[in-house]
Amino acid sequence: MKLTNQQRIELHGFNNLTKSLSFNMYDICYTKTREEREAYIEYIDEHYNADRLTNILMKVSEIIGAHVLNVAKQDYVPQGASVTVLISEELVVEVPTESFAESPGPLPDNVVLQLDKSHITVHTYPEYHPDEGISTFRADIDVSTCGEISPLKALHYLIRSFDTDIMTMDYKVRGFTRDKSGHKLFIDHEISSIQNYIPEDLKSLFQMIDVNVYQENIFHTKCKLKDFDLNNYLFGYTKDKLNDGEAEEITKKVQLEMDEIFYGKNTGNGWIGSYGGTDKSSS
């Protein structure tokens, strides 16, 4: 159902729709020795510590126009961090028309929109394979809002805030609100794909797959970097320190790890098989 901007704000009471974005990013590294693995985990743990993650979430709050009520943050031992931000609405006179557009959101700027009590969370998970020399870092960010704006407007900034090899994004709208006549609205903005909220220069870097359930207002997009440079996956040295056989073996291990994460399947032979999504990669 296509609604005009005027219709969107002529509601009976407050906009009760809950809009939730889950953004998961993965960084992958080859760490041949225990010392390399520990150094990588220490580096990534410091690079994405609770203070830096808090700064990222505060910028997200700014982008979606939220008023921060409370911040709880924690660095964990031996590794990992969590931040939770409780946010609430700020009074506005008029909702900017661009907040309804199915397009990438801004980088940090002054955007003030109407929200109810909502939250933003981030958790990090450094880990490693016990035998294969692969270490990974995962960050999970959830942005949940009630009100006029979709948290998808923060996606552009989130992608640029992390060095990521693979991304998984989920967006869903729950509940309903009513217009002045009492007619239920189960979604208040148009959306055909999460990809429409990602700028073209970023989309061109990734292979992308969509799995969407339109009638349930559920949207899912996976992204994996197209170009592979082994130097980006070595920690503390470059591929010129390796012989051809070593470079080939490490490349296979890293690419297999990326494929398994991207397709959500374990495999030992380098073959993943088909995936039941729609490939909408930028060519």
pLDDT digits (tens, 9 = 90+) for 77-106: 889 999 999 887 654 444 455 555 566 655
| Alpha-carbon span 234 to 138, nearest angstrom | 17
pLDDT for the residue 95: 47
Q: Is 283 part of the annotated catalytic residue set?
A: no
Residue 233 · residue 256 · CB < 8 Å: no
C-alpha dihedral sign at 243, 246, 248, 251: negative
Q: Is 146 part of the annotated catalytic residue set?
A: yes
Q: What is the pLDDT of residues 206-243, one digit of tens each?
A: 999 999 999 999 999 999 999 999 999 999 899 999 99
Q: Which of 99, 118, 135, 150 is catalytic?
A: 118
pLDDT for the residue 109: 40
Q: Which of 20, 123, 193, 281 is catalytic?
A: 123
Residue 175 · residue 18 · CB < 8 Å: yes
Q: Is 29 part of the annotated catalytic residue set?
A: no
Q: Which of 99, 135, 144, 146 is catalytic?
A: 146
Average pLDDT of 157-178? 93
Does the pTM surpass 0.75? The reply is: yes
Structural domains in the chain, sorted by start: 5-279 (3.60.90.10)
Average pLDDT of 246-262? 95
| Residue 56: strand, helix, or coil | helix
Q: What is the pLDDT of residues 102-150, one digit of tens each?
A: 666 554 443 333 344 588 999 999 988 888 799 999 999 999 887 776 7
Q: What is the pLDDT of residues 31-73, one digit of tens each?
A: 988 899 999 999 999 999 999 999 999 999 888 888 888 999 9
C-alpha dihedral sign at 97, 103, 108, 113: positive
pLDDT for the residue 103: 61
pLDDT for the residue 150: 74
Residue 225 · residue 205 · CB < 8 Å: yes
Q: Which stretch of DSSP H or E encloses residue 210? A: strand 206-213
Residue from 222, 167, 203 nearest 282 by CA: 203
